[in-house]
Structure 1
Amino acid sequence: MKMGVDYYPEHWDRSMWEQDANLMRETGVSLIRVAEFAWSRLEPEEGRYEFGWLDDAIDVFYKYGIQVVIGTPSCTPPNWLVDRFPDVLPRDAMLNPRYPGIRGHRCYNSPSMRFFSTKIVEKLASHYAIHPAVIGWQIDNEFSLNECHCENCNNRFRDWLSKKYGTLEALNQDWGTVVWSGEYSSWEQITTPFGGTKFRNPSFLLDWKRFETDSVVEFQQSQLSILRKYCPDHFVTHNIWSYPMSLDYYKLCEDLDFASLDYYPGTSPEKSVSGGYNGALTLDLTRGIKRQNFWIMETISGPPGCWFPMWRTPQPGFIRAFAWQCIARGADTLVHFRWRSAPFGAEQFWHGLIDHSNVPGRRFEEYRMLCDEVNRLSPVLAGSEVLGEAAVLHSHDLYNALEIQPQAEGMDYFDNLKLYHRALTKSGILTDVVNTTDDLDKYRLIVAPSLYLMDEKLADQLKNCVNNGATLILTNRTGVKNMSNVCWIQALPGLLAEAAGVTVGEYDPVGNDVHTIRMLDGKTYSCSQWCDILEPAGAETVAWYEDDFYAGKSAVTVHSYGKGKVYYMGIVAEESFYLNLFGKAAEEAGLTRFTGLPEGVQISIRRKGNSKYLFLLNLTQKQQTVELKGTYRSLLHEMSVGPDVILDPYAVEIVELDEQFGEISIAATV
């Protein structure tokens, strides 16, 4: 495990480099990331490369035992490139170029952009291939879909479609272009979605998103191939930056050594608790990209501020606590953004560990403490991993399809994913978040939110899991369409109707209207967004509607199928409903659970061989108490803790579990 910072030597006088390197070494920093925005300094004119300044900087940090990750600079095409080769700039849906002024102003399919990007990457890779300080590369910075409509993108889109469908007849059939006389009689008639209107064929729009992802992947691959050729002993990664995201991160990271994440938890006091749960989902999603540990390539060091008003400053303990949250959920290296606040440029007020005063303060001392802890525990935690027993399924295709055609007022795929994951996290259920196409055989509880797009392969995999003893939880809007974004002509939930033992007789997109359901035990819960009116066909009803014309009809069912069970939830309910249902399902499935967690307190387990390390994190501004059923050795404090563990605001505890850890219960004390 390593602690690092993002550092930009070109921003600082040379006299500061050695001072910074020395202070980093004293603080416990062993890694810097450099150069991802430095193209104009690395190649100030076409074909004139100036790496001397970067050589000098890297040599200084190497002298102090600090390793280096180099970012390829293709996120920031320099002005000479944009001026001489205007095809570099992406064009919007009205065919207007997007002019520079902020990073990311490049078309992934521009021949000029690809040529000059690969050229400078080749120069950098060959130059730094054997430098002893350089250990790896970050390609570009925070990829997203540019949705460019230039001539190059139009031509490549047609080629992409031609390869996928073979013939226009097949494309017309799969997209259903017969509607509104949308049939194509030549490939040249197909364009990117000019004009920006939403009134487009949804199959066309989903393929457009897929093409855009493939364009980014191909752009990245051109650099990756060069780095693999010249630097076979270096790792290569990319720093993803946000969820939800139209860009398919699973495809983007498939050929990389590991995924990296830029993680900025919200600092507002009123969002501190919810932000911790949202962050847990983001971290679990990142771990699920390659189903392995990952890096944090940027994270919070002070109040962010840029083209928006500054956030609140991180409270005492905040930076440390959220860094440990990252490690608890699978991060192996933490790189904080940035070492020192920039005196110029768009990110002047995206604060670093050291403020403009250049005087280390409270936040820096907290970071120093964090470095000491991580470096001290690195030999113990290195090589450990996070292994969930439950899985939540996620898909960029599903997100895009449901963004193209919103299903009901207030109904959002990713917000509902947050709801389900938050309930699992609060229930102390160890959870992975994985792609719908991943192998799911090891999971005993699978939560599958709105499998709106469904094919036989996914349906068969889920049925096999249930047949072998898993519990599957399905939600409304399951099995609506095939993977071409065309509706199945069959009763919902389509290909999973038999396994679920239920069909949807009718549905009501209730949006923001509030309805009530009643459980078997008489408890009632509110629901909104959507109401599937269910017709059990072998399934048992576990919740009924209390109101509207479908009062008394089934809202939630459970069906025994093979050795397992399938729950079907026709509603989107309040959080307490999921705490109840998921807790019961996890207990029936025999999952490890840590019950009674106080609000805002999270747990995770990292495992290495027979060793298990339990992380307790209080991500709130108030003192919390948890009760362990026994006493355990604290890795942080090298003493026994428990049964009562008092966690101050933003406190962290890490304990080594014994072989009976599966029997542990954590109960909140009042």
Structure 2
Amino acid sequence: MKIGIDYYPEQWTPEQWEKDAALMQETGVAVVRMAEFAWSRMEPTEGDYRFEWLDAAIEVFAARNMAIVLCTPTNTPPNWMTTRYPDVLPMDEQRQIIRPGVRGHRCNNSYSLRMLGSKFVEAMSQRYAKHPAVIGWQIDNEMHYQECHCDTCNRAFVAWLQKRYSSLEELNREWGTVVWSGEYSNWSEVTTPLGTSKPMNPSYLLEYKRFCSDSVGYLLGWQLDILRSNCPGQFVTHNMWQYPNSLDYYNLYKELDFVSVDYYPNELYRDYGDRFPRNGALTLDLVRGIKRRNFWVMEQLSGAQGAWMPIQRTPYPGLIRARSWQTIARGADMVVHFRWRSAIVGAEQFWHGLIDHSNVPGRRFREFAELTSEVNRLGELLAGSTIVNQVAILHSHDQHTALSLQPQAEGGIHYIDNLSSMHNVFLKMGVGTDVINWTEELDGYKLVIVPSLFLLNEEAAQRLERFAARGGTVVLTNRTGVKNMRNVCEMLPLPGLLAEAAGVVVSEYDAIGNSEHRIRNAEGQTFAAKQWSDLLELRGAAPIAWYDNDFYEGVPAVTVNKFGEGEVYYIGTWPEPSYFYQLFEGILKEKDLAPKLQLPEGVELSIRSKGKESFLFLINLTNEQQEVALDVPYRSLLTSKRSEQKVMLPAMGVDILTL
């Protein structure tokens, strides 16, 4: 477990490299990542490879015992390439070329990009495959899909569809292209979604989005093949952007060694709470869940952000340290900070690093140095520790995409925001959750939360039924079982394939959006509800909350059904957070999973374990001192002091406790 730095030697003089490397060594930096955007410097003209400057830069840091992570720079095709090989550039839905200007200006399926990129990655990987300081590779940078509509992508899209459908007749039938006279009579008529019309066939649009995601996998895949062949002793990863995201990262990371993420929690997130539903903890739990193992942070917030947006507020004192420890608490084994110093040229001049343009290390740098010292001191003890939870939240990229294509209510039913609001409840309780792909097996969990399975198949339904039948608790929400995996509505009473397990059917629904609605529990307490109202008919389930207004006052809104040895809850509306808190608190007590510590608002708890040792991380993400009462005495790994009854955490304070 170490701390690293993102560094851009191409932007600085060799004399500056020496000064920076000396300060990094003094500070305790262990890893330096470089070369992700330097294609034009390494290949200034086609076939003219110039790695000597990179050799020299690597040696400067390696001489001071720092390990190197190299990047393939395919995110930034150089000007000579886009000028000579225009098929590298993507086309928009009007078939107009998207010109270079920032980065990511490439068609993922471009033949020229693969031809020229393969030659480059081959040359670069062969050069550094056996370098003793180079420990691994990052492919590209923050991959996202480009909705390209060039001839190459049109051909690739048709070929992709032909692998998924046995014939054009099957495609027409499965998509329902008979609507609006959209049937295809020849494969040559099939194109990517051209034009700007919004109400296109939803099956068509979902498949195109899947194709775009797979096209990114294609770009990653041919680079991975080269790196695996030439560099068998070095790891390969990719630095994903935080959620919500356009890519299905579960597929993208299958063959990579581990997941890496770029983590930029806005400084305003320190206030946290329900106003910021997509909190940083969710991002980290999602990342850990992609391969269900520890991960790296390849870019960590180091200063105020500013580039294509106005400059954000500077990180509050302690936030850099607190957020870095937060990533470790939730499974990070390496935290690499972006960036060492603020750039003086280019579009990211005001995306601030640890050292400002003054070139004088200041408050943020001193905080980074404190963090580095702590991690270096505790790294060996924490190394090898992992996170083991008994609560899982199922996440599905397909659900996110499908619900984005067809907003279900005024104001939208935002899949990630809804997932996050449920995740927040466990976060505030201090109960660890794994956020995992909805296709994963559920062994080892006691409670599984399942936000809107808008798309549903037999396999997923049966997996949840087996889990409940064997004693697990499942929580389903509205908009479950609406469609099949082709994005076609099912002719079944909702929640479709899970109706029997839920013990209810939806007789009617009301897309209430933002209108004022209420539900009432058995104790007579009322709670606000929004987005959606499923009117539930009981088919074996017992009601535990009812609608409290509108024409369906008194109709069940939330139910629980005994199913085998377990139970299935169904939530037909979207209640305010206090209702979720009450509901989940009761379920956790029944499952013997109730939290042992009461956390103040804004304090996070996470536990990493190794053998019989457990390390309890407490992170205060507020601007005020917070007190946490302890159930048993703990010893602080940071101060070596024993805490008998309570831990006092200063603003943005951190403590790591062990029995």
Q: TM-score, normalised by structure 1?
A: 0.97
What is the alpha-carbon distance in structure 1 between the residues aligned to residue 246 and residue 477 of structure 2?
Answer: 22
* CA offset digits 1:480-511 (Å, max 9, x no partner): 11101111111000111111111111100000
Q: Does 1:345 align with 2:346?
A: yes
The 5 A counterparts of 1:223-234 are: 223-234=223-234
What is the alpha-carbon distance in structure 1 between the residues aligned to residue 177 and residue 440 of structure 2?
Answer: 32
Matched residue, 2:361: 360
User: Cα distance, 1:246 vs. partner?
Assistant: 2.1
AA at the equivalent of 2:302:
S
What is the alpha-carbon distance in structure 2 between the residues aligned to residue 190 and residue 470 of structure 1?
Answer: 45
What is the alpha-carbon distance in structure 2 between the residues aligned to residue 639 and residue 612 of structure 1?
Answer: 17
What is the alpha-carbon distance in structure 1 between the residues aligned to residue 431 and residue 278 of structure 2?
Answer: 13
User: Cα distance, 1:594 vs. partner?
Assistant: 3.8
Unaligned runs of 5+ in 2: none
What is the alpha-carbon distance in structure 1 between the residues aligned to residue 517 and residue 622 of structure 2?
Answer: 32
What is the alpha-carbon distance in structure 1 between the residues aligned to residue 276 and residue 480 of structure 2?
Answer: 28
AA at the equivalent of 1:130:
K
What is the alpha-carbon distance in structure 1 between the residues aligned to residue 148 and residue 464 of structure 2?
Answer: 37
What is the alpha-carbon distance in structure 1 between the residues aligned to residue 547 and residue 264 of structure 2?
Answer: 40
Aligned-pair identity in percent equals 56
Match of 1:458 among 443, 460, 466: 460
The 5 A counterparts of 1:204-219 are: 204-219=204-219
Matched residue, 1:202: 202
User: Cα distance, 1:242 vs. partner?
Assistant: 2.4
Q: Does 1:638 align with 2:636?
A: no
Describe the SS at the equivalent of 1:196: coil
What is the alpha-carbon distance in structure 2 between the residues aligned to residue 275 and residue 168 of structure 1?
Answer: 45
The 5 A counterparts of 1:1-16 are: 1-16=1-16
Matched residue, 2:586: 584
User: Cα distance, 1:250 vs. partner?
Assistant: 0.5
| Conservation of the 8 A alpha-carbon contact between 1:277 and 1:425 | no
Q: Rate the CA distance shift 1:112–1:291 in 2: closer, same or farther, 3 A.
A: same
What is the alpha-carbon distance in structure 2 between the residues aligned to residue 579 and residue 241 of structure 1?
Answer: 30
The 5 A counterparts of 1:207-606 are: 207-268=207-268, 271-273=271-273, 278-410=279-411, 411-606=413-608
What is the alpha-carbon distance in structure 1 between the residues aligned to residue 191 and residue 324 of structure 2?
Answer: 45
AA at the equivalent of 2:72:
T
Unaligned runs of 5+ in 1: 658-670
Structure 1 segments, 4+ long, off by >3 Å, are 269-277
Describe the SS at the equivalent of 1:552: coil
Q: Rate the CA distance shift 1:45–1:484 in 2: closer, same or farther, 3 A.
A: same
| Conservation of the 8 A alpha-carbon contact between 1:429 and 1:594 | no
Matched residue, 2:189: 189
AA at the equivalent of 2:108:
Y
AA at the equivalent of 2:333:
D
What is the alpha-carbon distance in structure 2 between the residues aligned to residue 88 and residue 267 of structure 1?
Answer: 37
What is the alpha-carbon distance in structure 2 between the residues aligned to residue 275 and residue 337 of structure 1?
Answer: 23
What is the alpha-carbon distance in structure 2 between the residues aligned to residue 455 and residue 428 of structure 1?
Answer: 33
What is the alpha-carbon distance in structure 2 between the residues aligned to residue 189 and residue 46 of structure 1?
Answer: 37
| Conservation of the 8 A alpha-carbon contact between 1:265 and 1:276 | no
> How many equivalent pairs are there?
657
Worse-superposed segment, 358-367 or 583-592: 583-592
Matched residue, 2:56: 56
Q: Does 1:154 align with 2:157?
A: no
User: Cα distance, 1:146 vs. partner?
Assistant: 0.4
What is the alpha-carbon distance in structure 2 between the residues aligned to residue 2 and residue 645 of structure 1?
Answer: 26
AA at the equivalent of 2:564:
G
User: Cα distance, 1:200 vs. partner?
Assistant: 0.7
What is the alpha-carbon distance in structure 2 between the residues aligned to residue 575 and residue 370 of structure 1?
Answer: 34
Worse-superposed segment, 170-179 or 335-344: 170-179
What is the alpha-carbon distance in structure 1 between the residues aligned to residue 166 and residue 156 of structure 2?
Answer: 15
| Conservation of the 8 A alpha-carbon contact between 2:69 and 2:138 | yes
What is the alpha-carbon distance in structure 2 between the residues aligned to residue 76 and residue 609 of structure 1?
Answer: 45
User: Cα distance, 1:596 vs. partner?
Assistant: 2.3
Matched residue, 1:113: 113
| Conservation of the 8 A alpha-carbon contact between 1:267 and 1:313 | yes
| Conservation of the 8 A alpha-carbon contact between 1:430 and 1:592 | no
Worse-superposed segment, 242-251 or 328-337: 242-251
AA at the equivalent of 2:263:
Y
What is the alpha-carbon distance in structure 2 between the residues aligned to residue 278 and residue 549 of structure 1?
Answer: 36
C-alpha RMSD of the superposition? 1.1
What is the alpha-carbon distance in structure 2 between the residues aligned to residue 166 and residue 126 of structure 1?
Answer: 42
Q: Rate the CA distance shift 1:161–1:85 in 2: closer, same or farther, 3 A.
A: same
What is the alpha-carbon distance in structure 1 between the residues aligned to residue 429 and residue 477 of structure 2?
Answer: 19
* CA offset digits 1:213-235 (Å, max 9, x no partner): 11111110100000000100100
| Conservation of the 8 A alpha-carbon contact between 1:627 and 1:642 | no
Q: Does 1:85 align with 2:81?
A: no
What is the alpha-carbon distance in structure 1 between the residues aligned to residue 48 and residue 626 of structure 2?
Answer: 59
| Conservation of the 8 A alpha-carbon contact between 2:476 and 2:570 | yes
Worse-superposed segment, 589-598 or 269-278: 269-278
| Conservation of the 8 A alpha-carbon contact between 1:6 and 1:339 | yes
| Conservation of the 8 A alpha-carbon contact between 1:237 and 1:257 | yes
Describe the SS at the equivalent of 1:262: strand
Matched residue, 2:649: 647
Worse-superposed segment, 252-261 or 406-415: 406-415
User: Cα distance, 1:522 vs. partner?
Assistant: 1.3
AA at the equivalent of 2:454:
Y
| Conservation of the 8 A alpha-carbon contact between 2:35 and 2:70 | yes
AA at the equivalent of 1:426:
K
What is the alpha-carbon distance in structure 2 between the residues aligned to residue 550 and residue 505 of structure 1?
Answer: 11
What is the alpha-carbon distance in structure 2 between the residues aligned to residue 395 and residue 167 of structure 1?
Answer: 28
User: Cα distance, 1:271 vs. partner?
Assistant: 4.3
Q: Rate the CA distance shift 1:438–1:106 in 2: closer, same or farther, 3 A.
A: same
User: Cα distance, 1:196 vs. partner?
Assistant: 2.7
What is the alpha-carbon distance in structure 1 between the residues aligned to residue 410 and residue 85 of structure 2?
Answer: 44
AA at the equivalent of 1:301:
S
AA at the equivalent of 2:205:
L
Matched residue, 1:179: 179
Matched residue, 2:40: 40
| Conservation of the 8 A alpha-carbon contact between 1:525 and 1:577 | yes
What is the alpha-carbon distance in structure 2 between the residues aligned to residue 372 and residue 269 of structure 1?
Answer: 26
Q: Rate the CA distance shift 1:157–1:409 in 2: closer, same or farther, 3 A.
A: same
AA at the equivalent of 1:545:
Y
What is the alpha-carbon distance in structure 2 between the residues aligned to residue 260 and residue 121 of structure 1?
Answer: 20
| Conservation of the 8 A alpha-carbon contact between 1:427 and 1:594 | no
* CA offset digits 1:325-379 (Å, max 9, x no partner): 0000000000000000000000000000001111100110000000010111111
| Conservation of the 8 A alpha-carbon contact between 2:265 and 2:280 | yes
User: Cα distance, 1:592 vs. partner?
Assistant: 4.9
* CA offset digits 1:193-223 (Å, max 9, x no partner): 0013211110111110111111111110100
Q: Rate the CA distance shift 1:197–1:556 in 2: closer, same or farther, 3 A.
A: same
